[in-house]
Chain A
Amino acid sequence: NAGVTQTPKFQVLKTGQSMTLQCAQDMNHEYMSWYRQDPGMGLRLIHYSVGAGITDQGEVPNGYNVSRSTTEDFPLRLLSAAPSQTSVYFCASSYSILGQGNTEAFFGQGTRLTVV
């Protein structure tokens, strides 16, 4: 089972460059999210989507854009990379709202991004 697939695994950008982190899931999940992981801060929600065509901001959305044109894909775009965006990025998906019933979030393996 592929689960949640993120590409690339590693990326180095120069300040001001743009790029897209890809995320795809094959579990037909409606809910998808992007988190960033920074030392001493756990994971923080960047953006999330509750279905195709619907996205919303999390707690640290500035500098990032998302779109959800299909159920499977949820790309994260960095518009103009800054050193503060150096982090490990995780995409996650779940079949319903977290916290309800037996809902579980499935995570990709992460993208380690360095902005120089």
Chain B
Amino acid sequence: GNSVTQMEGPVTLSEEAFLTINCTYTATGYPSLFWYVQYPGEGLQLLLKATKADDKGSNKGFEATYRKETTSFHLEKGSVQVSDSAVYFCALSDRGGATNKLIFGTGTLLAVQP
């Protein structure tokens, strides 16, 4: 079945460091891919998404490229801030299905220190 694997955390970085959070997926067909962010005490918010191969999603300085050949959707940011501290979830949605289901990775906790 479909699944998402993302790197385990926590990831601890200093402010202005470069961030990469790895995400790979297994899916039949051509899923849509998402990164969601969960700030402390809040629900999940969509950070960025890509719906087809080679698409690049971007938002708030974060980027991720849909790589079909490597089945990956790694999240990157050139210079993190303390305010980026949160849990980041990679997710996929089976485009052809009727279940409206998101399949999530286990989440990666990012802690940015000043």
CB 8 Å contact bits of B90-113 with A (1 = contact, 0 = none): 001111011111101111000000
Given contact pairs A105-B46, A107-B43, A43 touches B102 in the complex (Cβ within 8 A) = yes
Chain B contacts with A in 17-47, Cβ cutoff 8 A = 31-32, 36, 41-46
- Please give me the residue from chain B that is nearest to A49 by CB atom: B100
* Neighbour of A107 across the interface among B4, B31, B45, B51, CB < 8 A: B45
Question: How far apart are the CA atoms of A45 and B92 in the complex, in Å?
Answer: 13
Contacting pair A41 B106 (CB below 8 A):
yes
User: Secondary structure at chain B's binding surface: helix, strand, loop or mixed?
Assistant: loop
Q: Is A53 an interface residue (CB 8 A)?
A: no
Q: Is A66 an interface residue (CB 8 A)?
A: no
Total interface residues on B, using CB and 8 Å?
27
* Neighbour of A4 across the interface among B43, B99, B107, CB < 8 A: B43
Question: How far apart are the CA atoms of A90 and B92 in the complex, in Å?
Answer: 17
Query: What bracket does the count of chain A residues touching chain B fall in?
Result: 20 to 34
Taking Cβ atoms with an 8 Å cutoff, the residues of B that contact A are 4, 31-32, 36, 41-46, 49, 51, 89, 92-95, 97-102, 104-107
* Neighbour of A33 across the interface among B4, B89, B101, B105, CB < 8 A: B101
Contacting pair B89 A99 (CB below 8 A):
no
Taking Cβ atoms with an 8 Å cutoff, the residues of A that contact B are 4, 6, 31, 33, 35, 40-45, 48, 50, 56, 58, 90, 92, 94, 97-102, 104-105, 107-110
- Please give me the residue from chain A that is nearest to B106 by CB atom: A42
Contacting pair B102 A45 (CB below 8 A):
yes
Contacting pair B46 A48 (CB below 8 A):
no
